[in-house]
Structure 1
């Protein structure tokens, strides 16, 4: 699994239906939305992409504004605790359904959340290292087989059990299909759309003070220090991964 997402949608109803009926997005409207959800940033048009590119690089936003739904892909809009969504984003989605989906394959992290008319009705955020960071509201039907133990994880590293009852990325693909109507690496449902057919406007969105970039670089340097030396594994005769010594 190598999927990553950073999706925030403002919808009048079912996102899948709106995307299936998608027409061309207007770049000026998309730019206005970027400036509203990321106020104070420098915004410059930077080309085109598609909805399949759900995790733009740093300082880049992918945006589409369609009848019934507007979607922004930007890492800065996704939260470890979705319930802390800033007020200006709730205001941007006033009277609409707001849907967040974040997924990062490097740390097996998943979050998704749904607000109806400004009220948070469901939020889930979890990873094997941090555990369940947020679990608010009644689980959706598509979640229940995971919570009921129907998707256990066989651990690859070490003898211990996987610290969660299911793999976050596996649930993440199912949530993506149910909430947005497409998948990145999972098995698409018959009603799913082709995300690569949905055009997105690309914008370079930078902090004019440079503070955000400096903070991000400092965090990366600290992460490299915390990771320590590189460790290598190989498959052992019993089928488990075993660490290989550099000596």
Structure 2
């Protein structure tokens, strides 16, 4: 394992204090900017907090550097942000992990574009005790702590994905992450699931967008694509109107990454749901190349 560079991933934390989170998540929960601002003020009072939109997290691109997606729905809350060195979720920053009180905490990690785009991880804490953490790419297992849950069995048995041999895992980690989300939260966190609205914030000092660009961060609901069957032309950042005159390198990088993520997801259908088909096809092609 190359620990020098570490894994950078969008990590989504769910803070749950109910036996039936699906009842809350299926009831069209709405974003609460006030909750998000209070949360960030407690997490780090020195951060310059800028609201950058409201949109459903289940249809959005992952948070970029310096961003937080936050939703507070009573006994269920969600926080997503970009985390460096996310290859061992059991070692998440305790300040972030304990940022909200909850009976159970679930963490789900999705690698960023590039080297770590196939990285997936999930972890669970019950009453503060780690029960399970699995972090991996298809070719590298970073962490396997605790006993597997029953829903993992068909993945480990190689029943869900094409087998590519060698030392590769018998499943695609991101597929197992999506299954863990569905099993623990009771609903799929994908375009096919209920919309879960969050408030998005930047803490890196960027200015507030002139207009609400939330629609630029999300995919349409299945069956509600644009007439051409693809995303609308506005697939960039909230600051698109400001950039043609010359944006910073960081801003342009955010544009590029979000464009690539949305284009990739649109081409395969939607987020994790049909993203699975894309990854499976890619693994099959790689298998053909090796044979």
Task: Report the TM-score when normalising by structure 2.
Answer: 0.59
Structure 2: distance between partners of 1:148 and 1:48: 40
**CA separation of 1:57 and 1:154: change in aligned 2, threshold 3 A:** same
Structure 2: distance between partners of 1:50 and 1:153: 32
Instruction: Confirm or deny: 8 A CA contact 1:78 1:102 kept in the other structure.
Output: no
Which residue in the other structure is 2:82 paired with?
A: 75
Structure 2: distance between partners of 1:34 and 1:143: 34
How far 1:39 moved relative to its partner? 5.6
Aligned with residue 197 of structure 2, among 188, 199, 204 = 199
**Cα deviation per residue 1:168-215 (whole Å; 9 max; x = unaligned)?**
122122122223321438xx6xxxx32xx221111112279xxxx99x
Aligned with residue 129 of structure 2, among 88, 96, 119 = 119
Structure 1: distance between partners of 2:29 and 2:102: 23
Aligned with residue 190 of structure 2, among 174, 184, 192 = 184
Which residue in the other structure is 2:120 paired with?
A: 110
Instruction: Confirm or deny: 8 A CA contact 1:11 1:97 kept in the other structure.
Output: yes
Structure 2: distance between partners of 1:143 and 1:38: 37
3-state SS of paired residue (1:175): helix
Which residue in the other structure is 1:41 paired with?
A: 47
Structure 2: distance between partners of 1:205 and 1:55: 16
- Runs (5+) with no aligned partner, structure 2: 1-8, 207-248, 254-286
3-state SS of paired residue (1:177): helix
Aligned residues: 199
3-state SS of paired residue (1:10): strand
Which protein is richer in strand relative to its size?
A: 1
**CA separation of 1:44 and 1:97: change in aligned 2, threshold 3 A:** same
**Cα deviation per residue 1:111-136 (whole Å; 9 max; x = unaligned)?**
1011111111111111134x221111
Which residue in the other structure is 2:173 paired with?
A: 168
Task: Report the TM-score when normalising by structure 1.
Answer: 0.69
**Cα deviation per residue 1:61-119 (whole Å; 9 max; x = unaligned)?**
11111121111111128821111122223432444211100123753111101111111
Bigger CA drift: 9-18 or 106-115? Answer: 9-18
**CA separation of 1:240 and 1:25: change in aligned 2, threshold 3 A:** closer
Which residue in the other structure is 2:141 paired with?
A: 132
Structure 1: distance between partners of 2:171 and 2:145: 18
Structure 1: distance between partners of 2:25 and 2:63: 20
Aligned with residue 27 of structure 2, among 17, 21, 25 = 21
Structure 1: distance between partners of 2:203 and 2:22: 27
Structure 2: distance between partners of 1:54 and 1:78: 20
Instruction: Confirm or deny: 8 A CA contact 1:51 1:200 kept in the other structure.
Output: yes
Is structure 2 residue 82 aligned with structure 1 residue 100?
A: no
Structure 2: distance between partners of 1:64 and 1:93: 12
3-state SS of paired residue (2:12): strand
3-state SS of paired residue (1:41): coil
Which residue in the other structure is 1:153 paired with?
A: 162
3-state SS of paired residue (2:120): strand
Which residue in the other structure is 2:13 paired with?
A: 8
**Cα deviation per residue 1:38-72 (whole Å; 9 max; x = unaligned)?**
56432111221212225122222111111211111
Q: Which runs of 4+ in 1 moved over 6 A?
A: none
